Each structure stands twice: as C-alpha cells, then as structure tokens.
Amino acid sequence: MKLDILPGQSYPLGATLTPDGVNFCVFSKNCHALELLLYDTPTAPLPSHVIQLDSHENRTFYYWHVFVRGLQAGQLYGYRVHGPYDPSHGHRFDGSKVLLDPYARAVAPNPHYSRAAAAQPGDNSATALKAVVVNTQDYDWQGDTPLGLPYASAIIYELHVGGFTRSPSSGVTPDKRGTFSGLVEKIPYLKDLGITTLELLPVQQFDEQDAPHNLLNYWGYSPIAFFAPHNAYAANPAAPHAVVNEFRDMVKAFHRAGIEVILDVVFNHTAEGDQTGPTLSLRGFENRAYYILDPANEALYPNYSGCGNSLNANQSIVRRMIIDCLRYWVMEMHVDGFRFDLASVLSRDEWGQPLRSPPILWEIESDPVLAGTKIIAEAWDAVGLYQVGTFIGHRWAEWNGRFRDDVRRFVKGDNAAVQSLAARISASGDLYAQPDRDPNRSINFITCHDGFTLNDLVSYNHKHNDANRESNRDGASDNQSWNCGVEGPTDDPAVEALRLRQIKNLLSILLISQGTPMLSMGDEVRRTQHGNNNAYCHNNELTWFDWTLVDRNQGLLRFTRLLIQFVQSYPIFQTEHFWTTTDGSAAPHLIWQGVRLGQPDWSDESHTLAFTLHDPLQDIHFHIMLNAYWEPLTFQIPYLLAPRRWRQIINTAQPSPADFYEPAAAPTIDDDHYQVAARTTVLLQAY
C-alpha cells in the first residue's frame, strides 16, 4: 500500500487522529535522523512501512512531525531515532532500537516483549512494545465529570487494580479478574465499607519485566508510557485501543457510585533504569533532556528514586510532558486527582540540587485544568530529602509519614511517644503550622502498599522477604512493628486476641484523628503478605486480596465499616479548620486529658492519653481514652449534666459486636470513671 505522506505539524505531541488521517509529532533535539515505523501486528519482526522524516520538511525547531493520510485508530507504530552515541556527553541515541512514543495513548501487548533485548546491541523490532493510535473523542461520558469531593469528607482506599480481584475467591467474572472491569464489580463492597476515594497503584503503562531474578514488577512503579493505561489490566487485551474506554467505563461507574478515582503517578523515574538499562523511549529520543545526569560524569544517572534514574522534571520539555499528561488524565479520562510517588524528586533541578521554588510543582498546583483535583505528595525521595511539613504550595496535600511512625510507636508501647501522638491526632499542627491551612491536607495512614500490611504489623517483628530472592536485604528494616509475642501465624488465642485488639486500636486512632484517613487494601479483613514488606515483585496469592477473609474476619470488617460510618456522621471529624484547644470556643475544640481529668501525662514513660472533643454548634461531646500500657488503668471521665449520660461506642478490648455500638444502643456509663483494659481504645459519646 502506498501511503500519502504530508509534512504534518508540530502540535499536538503524540499521534493525533483526524478525519483524514494521523499527525505524528515527537521531540528530539540532538538526533540527525528519525523514522516513523508502522506495524501490522505487535509481534511483527519488521514494520510494514518505514517513513523517513526529512530534517527540513518534517522538523520545526526540535519537533519532528509527519501526517499520514488514511491511517485510522488502532494503527500500531514506533520510532527509530538516529544520533550520536556519546554517553560521556549524555547522548545515548541507538537507531537499532524501536522506541515508544512518550505521548502514546495506548500500548499494544507483545507476548514476545523483551526488556533484555532493549538493553543489548542490535535490532529489537520483534520484541519491542508498539504504541497504538487512539481515537480519544469517540466516547460517550453521559454527562460524567470528576466529583471534586473535599478532603474533609474523604476516606481514601489504596488498592492494586490487578490484585484486588485477581483471586478466584473474588467472585468476579473469570475473564474480568484483575482488570478495570473487574474492579467495577466490587463497587458494592467498597460502597458498603464507606470508601469515598480510590487511590489506584500505578495504572500508567509499566514494564512488568523490571524486576530481579525472573520475577515480575507487580506494583507498577516502573513507567514506560505515562499517557497509556496499563494493557495488562484490560479485559480484552486483543483490542489494545479498547483499554482506554475500559478505563473510562470504570471511572464513570465509580463516579455514579459517588466514589472518586485518583492515580498514583510516577514522574520521578522510568523503567529505563541506569546506564545498563534498556532503551525503551525517553532515553532514545533525548537522554540529556529527560533525565538528570551526573555533572561529573554524564554517562551516569543520579539515583534519587532508588530505581536507577531520575526524571529531569524541571526541564522545560519534561515539565510540558508532565502537565500535558496530568491534563489528559483529567480532561479525557476524568480522574479526580493524583498521588505523586517520591514527589521530592520533582523539586530537584537538572543537577539534582533541591530547588526552593520548583517550577513543575507550582505549575501543577496553579494549572486551571487541575484546579479541582486532589494533588497529594509523597514528600520525600530515596536518598534522604524529607519534606513532610515543608512541601511547597498552597494546595498540595501530603502523605504524613510522621503520622504512620508515631501512631505505630505509641500503640506498640514505646516510650516518649505520647507528645508526638497528640500532635498527629490533631492534624500535625507541629508540622503544618500555617493557621489557614486545611488540616485535611494531612493524609494520615498506618500502612500502604510499601511495607507491612496491618495484620503483619502486629504479627511480625522482622521482615521476611526471602521470596524476593535478594537474601532479605530489600525492604525497610525499621518497621515499628510488634508481633505480640509470637513471630508469624499462631494458634494461641491470647496472642490472636491481642493482635486483633491492636489492629482495632490502630484503625480507631487513624479514623478519629483530624486529617484525611487512608486505608490500605484488605487491612479491614487482615490481609497478610506473610511478613514480606516489599512485595513489589509478586503477582500471585501473596499479594492478591483473598476474599475468603471477608467471611473469616466479619467482626473486624463490621468494626471498620461502622467506624468509618461514625466519623462520616459528625461535622467535628470533617471540619476544614484545626481543632482549637481553647475551652469555651464556639469552634470545634479538644481538651487534652489523662488518666486524671485535666492532667495529661506528657512524660517519656507515659503510655496513656485521653482527650475530650466538643462541637458547640452541634452540641456533640466525645471522650476518647487511649491505654497503650500493658495493664488496665482506671480513667476519670468528664461530668455531664443530667439527663445526658456517657455511652460506650468503642471498646477495642471487647469481642464483636460489643467492640462497636450504634449510639442509640450503646451501654451507658453511670460512674465518674472507666476502667480501660490493657492496650485498648475506648470512645464515649454524650447522649
């Protein structure tokens, strides 16, 4: 077939479908020749057409472009880019490699894909991934728009798209397990749990082969195509462009259920790794622009991400790509926001030095298309830059790593933990000191994908990562965990009862603290990874949600569901202002207490804390008692004027269903004191 080829134009970047054909455009500054390759199948050893781009007709400034009349959606394509191979000066052009378009909207699955072939000399046409031309304008959103829920009313649930429904125990339609469509079938479960916001682990196309020792990259923190939904999550992988609409169907279904969808995005590095890694896309187009290079030796990559390379996020071309990408996922895919993995890498300049005012972070915050979205920073990187409490901007929320660590330490029974706990409960005012800051921009969490599950946090003193085949060297060694007396599974009923109590203590503190709570997939039913705290390379039963746990842990699931429902019912847990400690204020306020009223024990040896919450406008009173001591303690409780009485809503020492009462049915407290069992949380409500 003879193609009708025209010069094309330098915008938009990527492959843009029109009624007459497709315009292709990519950026490359230092290459001297560029070829567009058209393929008939993902595994074709040779392209069906090779279109040589002329440096005069098909180049505007540093943009190479061509228009091919008659091409349609579904066309597979790639590029070869020829230029200097001079690593010492940052150039790594390799004209033998087939490259993915950085703006590819979809990637065709290739069963013969080889990461190794992309890292070795020679042609890799048959084993390379190919981009897909996608029609992004043919979808009927039926009036759908992003939900824009405030942080104050959000309950975030972090989950893995594949792992949530991959297990046969999920009950999901077999050909939809582990897919975007399969996730839709679990909306009733998430809705009943009380989830308002899903945070999906990476769904941008990633390299599953980027893992050691013939394992698979499961988590997805290894991106290769930022604009493309991961094709392995498609229910119909035979139609590679269909994954785009399958993702949209999922978002639309969640929006109809009142649930937001936010994406965990990885703009700190790519799957191309260090100087020994493969040439898949950015490295082959313009290595010097896309990556931070070592100023002392530009053949090397500073590794601020811990994954081999660091994206040069504040370079103008890269900034444009990131903004274009975020806009695409909001405008064309209707997502509600983003969590930025290792966001502190984005604060570094092209030499790797932290910037006081990073352009890309301000551009994300101020972009009008993104103005209604959630933007959440993991405010640290892999080499010690820790910006929790100091991350720039007026709109960024932050994963509060200090909340995780300090709550774990208190519940475990560490010394010198009470003062830090009090700060975390009250939205970490010691970290976020701006008086006009929304306290809910502190994203509070106990666990996430990275580290122990909640069950394993109370079941293991040490990581058990031997299955990762790295001699247990990988993963964090300091987890602030406690096995409650036995390492791993046990039949001892006393140990099991204590573990369940500790889980409920951790969940209670998480949900009643001021800030936006985030739960990790399956913690509500004691999902376990058997002590593996770095299970990024296991796409199997170790990491999948085991849905038999829903029946086996109905009591904990009930407790979690009622706890979420409870905090969602009262404005004091959703206020957009910091709780004040001024008694008598018209604003929601708290009073720190201790075992004795008005006498909180801030000493290093203290293992107790109590506080009274009061919302004058709603006439709501709560009294919370936290006993992390290993013996029961008797707490004084505030006096109430008759006929009001305290009612016990939560007592984590009690078995289900006595661990959580609906307010109207809760037992009353007639004394002026209450004995709190060892390692127990109690919440009373005036009623």
* Residues annotated as catalytic (active site), given as ranges: 341, 378
Instruction: Count the Cβ atoms, other than its own, within 10 Å of residue 214.
Output: 8
Render 600-631 in DSSP notation, one character per residue.
---STT--EEEEEEEETTTTEEEEEEEE-SSS
Q: How far is CA 529 from CA 115, 160, 205, 220, 494, in A?
A: 28, 14, 25, 18, 22
Alpha carbons within 13 angstroms on the beta-carbon side of residue 84 total 9
Separation of alpha carbons 593 and 610, rounded Å: 5
Phi, psi of 626 (to 5 degrees): -120, 115
Both tokens of 627, joined, read 């006993």
Render 68-98 in DSSP notation, one character per residue.
EET--TT-EEEEEEE--EEGGGTEE--TTS-
All residues at 6 or more sequence positions from 445 whose CB lies less than 8 Å from its CB, including other chains: 158, 399, 400, 403, 404, 510, 517, 518, 519, 520
Separation of alpha carbons 350 and 313, rounded Å: 8
Separation of alpha carbons 444 and 517, rounded Å: 5
Judge whether 75 and 260 are in contact, CB under 8 Å.
no
Beta strands in 134-270 (DSSP E): 156-159, 197-200, 204-206, 223-229, 260-265
Render 556-573 in DSSP notation, one character per residue.
HHHHHHHHHHHHTT-GGG
Helix, strand, or coil here: 421?
helix
